[in-house]
Amino acid sequence: MRNDSRHPLEHNGGAGGGASIDLRAPLEVRVRPGPGEGCVICTVRAPVDTESVGQVRSRMAEDLRVRGLSDELIEDAQIVATELLTNAVRHARTLPDGTIRVRWKVRPESLEVEVTDGGSSTEALPAPRGVWRDSGRGLRVVRALAHEWGSGEDRTGHVVGACLGGPSRRRVG
């Protein structure tokens, strides 16, 4: 399902049925209404390349600023998107069209960030603590910033997502 209403950040290019994405071109942000009043879903198809991580961060921040979200929430969303997308670029297979999908749902009370890829041979879990580790902290960072996070499968691939800005459901203590 695609809503053709244009968003201030959208670009006319983008991936379609197996087309490659030019990293020099701005990534297209597709916007559609979500379920419920005030919910908007924004989607970007990103190439599997470390350069696309920064582009997605920038596109997301621009979109969230246009929507009036706080700087703190935008920063947290950028960190979460960076960690999830970097994991997908490093460890996962692509979706059938050769991309990884990044989606954010803006709701009146929260913001959800999801990354969908073609799956991998390992499960998305936070790495054990380690003072001298030079990598593997990404999901621990996501878990610290989000009030909910998780992973699973949907009809298109493997999804890892986090919910920010809402009431915490985590138990304290």
| Cα dihedral sign, 99-92-142-114 | positive
Does any domain span residue 11? no
Parent domain of 79:
30-164
| Cα dihedral sign, 170-142-106-70 | positive
pLDDT per position as a tens digit, 84-127: 999 899 888 999 999 999 999 999 889 999 999 998 766 655 55
Does any domain span residue 21? no
Considering the entire predicted model, what is its pTM?
Answer: 0.74
CATH number of the domain where residue 143 is located:
3.30.565.10
Does any domain span residue 56? yes
Does any domain span residue 51? yes
Does any domain span residue 15? no
pLDDT per position as a tens digit, 59-79: 999 999 999 999 999 999 999
Q: Work out how many domains the chain is built from and give that number.
A: 1
Does any domain span residue 64? yes
